[in-house]
Amino acid sequence: MTTNQNDTLHNHKWGFVDTAIVLQPDRTVTMTGNRYELSGTVMPEFIPFVEEMLGIKLDPRDTQQERTDKPIAEPIINEAFYQAVQQTFPATKYTLDPEERLLHSHGQTTADEVYPALYGQLERTVDMTFFCETEEDAIEIVKLAQTHNVCLVPYGGGTSVSSALKLPTQEQRMIVSVDMQRMNRIEWIDKENMRACVQAGITGRELEKQLAKDGFLCGHEPDSMELSTLGGWIATNASGMKKNRYGNIEDIVENVTLVTPKGVLNQLEAMPRLSIGMQPQKLLFGNEGNLGIITKAVIRIHRLPETKQYGSVVFPTFEAGVAFLYELTRAGITPASVRLVDNFQFRFGGALRPHATFTHAAMNRLQKLYLLRVKGFDPKQLAATTIVMEGSEEAVKQQAKQLYKLAEKHGGIAGGEGHGKRGYMLTYAIAYIRDFFLQYHVMGETYETTVPWSKIHAVCKAVLDEAEAQHKAYNLPGNCYVSYRVTQCYHTGVCIYFTHGFYAKGVDRPDKIFQQIEHKLRQVIMDAGGSISHHHGVGKIRKDFMDQTISPTSIELVKQTKQTLDPQDIFGIHNNIFAE
């Protein structure tokens, strides 16, 4: 990533205003700005690939126009609360501005939130935005909300894709969005014990930037790391692309501070590990805004790695790639990140390549000739892994040697460091591609799940079959698009990301149809042996599946915890088992 960037964010779409996917008059596609590996690239194969996969013809002139006069209802004002806020806080910490209210009234779930925010109308919007700057601010705003019976909704980076920020339509009280992004500092770094106390509103990008000044990193890299916050990671029980080396968020965090209506909840001291009986702070991971405001956390940090090396491997089939990952996990040489994409995503990655120079074109022909003619690979079956290795030079060198030897055993052929880096960095551009498609009537979203090793292929087939069946049942135009990739590996299974989309031109309320299909696909995933979610959380779009996930007694335990900490339902965002 480069400097001299405009870090202004899009108001309702994903990411930064200096970055967008743009269709050119000659039907090539480019990414504006200079922020990503794809930036500035002219992609001639992008549109032909999309048209082939979806079985449609995109018309450059036929776009959905974002509403410039976005409707918003007048705010519900609790006068006593509003007066108390005015008396307690400076005017810079709160606003009734309609644009801020709209911005804080949705996340990034395509059909449920982004589509109505851009092209329709949100059913419910927040009535005030409050900008929290200190833990004392959080404590005071909670007290005022209790006194005056106001609903508070914690807001981090706004990147949720589970409708966790979608506001309950039945809420009659004043709703206040508590924006945490001004709490974005590292309070202290303990260099000897390799830990840091970090405020919850810091984004992943800013966290790594600040830690790097002292030679450290956190290592938590979700796809949304530029925009999502530490508090959001804890609230959703998040995972990152380099979890193999640095752990998931529950492995990274040693202590959490949560401001609740009953008081501040945390451990008195952060420790490497504790055996103190039942640990209340474990309930904070995945709380999804239902219990309080996360203000800070003590996290484990690491020295910046001596070296980082990207890599890639092409496999004859997805099944061969899975077999490689299985043995790789057993061998104990799993790199910081290793991700396996299916044939559709492999080909889509090829469609994002720029115009090739004569030399590159010749090399590409030679590579294809070797793969297809010499090795006998079927171009409609190829799969590939992208790899990131970090550590000392010697350790990375040894890991690479073992890894590629194992890949060769499973029919894999090294694809080069350039392809590996490009594939890894592509993840930051996915949401921009989604927003590009949306304006051309193509709706798409990703679904993630955890799957035991033995059920990977059954789950993938079940989703493919059901997506096709639903596409026909709703008589949707063209073809449905479904692809998948394995993004994280564990001892007992993997995380699978599905990408699903369809062309919605001429379809009445495509957002509602997409919601219904997504719901059916999630049921199919669970019926075939997958989980409700790996790291996006439950929010509201997966609420119907909780009784298939935890027992009635477990649900009652969580409800009683909520009743104890928040008997007035001040934090009434109603996610997970609390959803309407």
Catalytic positions are 497
Asked whether the beta carbons of 253 and 299 are under 8 A apart, the reply is: yes
- The structure tokens listed for 472 are 């026909």
Alpha-carbon distances of 265 from 131, 292, 296, rounded to whole Å: 21, 9, 11
How far is 436 from 118, CA to CA, in rounded Å? 12
- Scan for tokens 């055996």, then name that residue: 275
Strand (E) or helix (H) holding 217? strand 216-217
Report the DSSP pairing between strands 175-179 and 151-155. Answer: parallel
Short-list 42, 56, 21, CA closest to 501: 56
Cα angle, residue 188 at apex, residues 185 and 190 outer, rounded to 5°: 140
| Helix residue ranges per DSSP H, 474-568 | 510-527, 552-565
Whether the CA torsion 109, 114, 116, 117 is positive or negative: it is positive
Cα angle, residue 101 at apex, residues 293 and 515 outer, rounded to 5°: 85
Q: Is 344 left (phi over 0), alpha (psi -120 to 50) or beta?
A: alpha
Short-list 162, 6, 31, 5, CA closest to 435: 31
How far is 525 from 256, CA to CA, in rounded Å? 33
Alpha-carbon distances of 355 from 21, 44, 213, 473, 512, rounded to whole Å: 16, 7, 38, 40, 39
End-to-end CA distance of the chain: 42
Q: What does DSSP assign to residue 372?
A: I
How far is 152 from 178, CA to CA, in rounded Å? 7
**49 burial via Cβ count (<10 Å: 0-12, 13-18, 19+):** middle
Asked whether the beta carbons of 23 and 450 are under 8 A apart, the reply is: no
For residue 191, the cross-strand partners are: none
Short-list 31, 19, 13, 25, CA closest to 59: 25
C-beta neighbour count of 283 within 10 angstroms: 18
Instruction: Give the strand order in the sheet containing 21-23.
Output: 21-23, 29-31, 42-43
Q: What is the three-state SS of 401-461?
A: HHHHHHHHHCCCEECCHHHHHHHHHHHHHHHHHHHHHHHCCEEEEEEEEEEEHHHHHHHHH
